[in-house]
Structure 1
Amino acid sequence: FQSFSVHFLVSSGYHETTPLTTQGPTVEVTSNPPLEEAFNVTFIITNLPFTPELENSGSQLYNSAANVIADRLDNIFNNSNISPAFSHCKVESLSRVNDDQTSVYALCTFKNTTGIGNVDKVTVYKTFSEKTNQISLLGTYTLDTNSLYVNGYHETTPLTTQGPTVEVTPNPPLEEAFNVTFIITNLPFTPELENSGSQLHNSAAKVIANRLDNIFNNSNISPAFSHCKVESL
């Protein structure tokens, strides 16, 4: 008769095995996967006029806007110092606020890894703030600077003391607009796409312009880039 003793300590995926004093049966221990936590992220977009279609998660306009916003949120966290823990963001709903502005409710998911420590709501808030120029700009969207909440956490924008105004008019940088034309093979054309006043045209134009912005914002000529605008389909 042989006796053996096995002791295990498992905490947050870290594992050490006490050496066996006497050879016994093999015991397999599976380490715990990194824990995921989804953070409620809400903010207001001031230059996306709200329409009833934006509240309908089955509409083309809703899905187009939700995809663009989620893409912008992914860019923020993928290009931050907490990117190793970041998984993805998903827009859960869009709603009306302040008469005609659009409130965004999104879930952003992170994995708590030992590499960078635990990501909490304050970290997510401060990263969002830093990457949006103090909660003012999300890609082409302008934001209400006092509208960001992460799991209920909110920082009030401090009021600055008004001093004497000194106006300095610098020479504006010279801008040059380039005509860029190309063909999309998997966007079936309809007469509505040719009508610049239609909802379908505006939705498609915004998505295409957003994709073009991404190309140049993530290139070696990004310091000189301003924006892209779809003139016609």
Structure 2
Amino acid sequence: MSLSRSTIIAIIVTLWIARAWAQQSAPEATSTSSAISAGTASPSPTPVVFSSQTLAELKRLQQAALRSDYAYKQVAHLANNIGPRLSGSSQAAKSIEYVASELKAIGCEVQLEKVMVPHWMRGEETAGLVEFPGQAQSTMQKIVLCALGGSVATPPEGIEAEVIAVRNFDELKSMPRDKVAGKIVLFNYPFDKQMAAEGRGILDRPITQMMHRKFQPAQLPQRTPI
């Protein structure tokens, strides 16, 4: 627990030292300006804010905090034990409770306040190729996908349109608007070659002609208290 306390103290100490240096440099800058304008005054000496012993102790606290793995352990707990923390989710609430309890454990005074945050709930995502080269009659190819958090839902019937494949945003921006409007844009970005060599990715995929995509049902972001 001493290491975790050192982490907090080191942050405060760093800000404290920075403020002290700012205070030390301010009188010197003022005196220099006066000397230039008057031509006779000399800069005043920098005042001693902390003793050499105090600065040495602060330095030791800072080094102890930098050597500690306390911060990494906290991040690991949030990522592995609690998981994704979308705003308004139960995981976000648990992470707030955890951080508050950890701060209290090292002697900090903590007070939680209720706030309103956006809240997005995942619906059901489906997609499939309905027209593609070499397609067998009366068949379609299902695509497994996962919508990004915060995605807007499609209409209930989904979206069916021609697919335009691009490698990056620059290629997309270079295309005429009439070639993109009303179509589904596929970013055909290649997987890492090493991953592909290990059988964990595919470098090239055929460019599809028609795709049906449906995100249903999905709830639009709403405000929820935490």
- Normalized per residue, the structure richer in helix is 2
TM-score scaled by length of structure 2: 0.21
Q: Which of the two has higher C-alpha Rg?
A: 2
Higher relative contact order (CA 8 A, sep 6+): 2
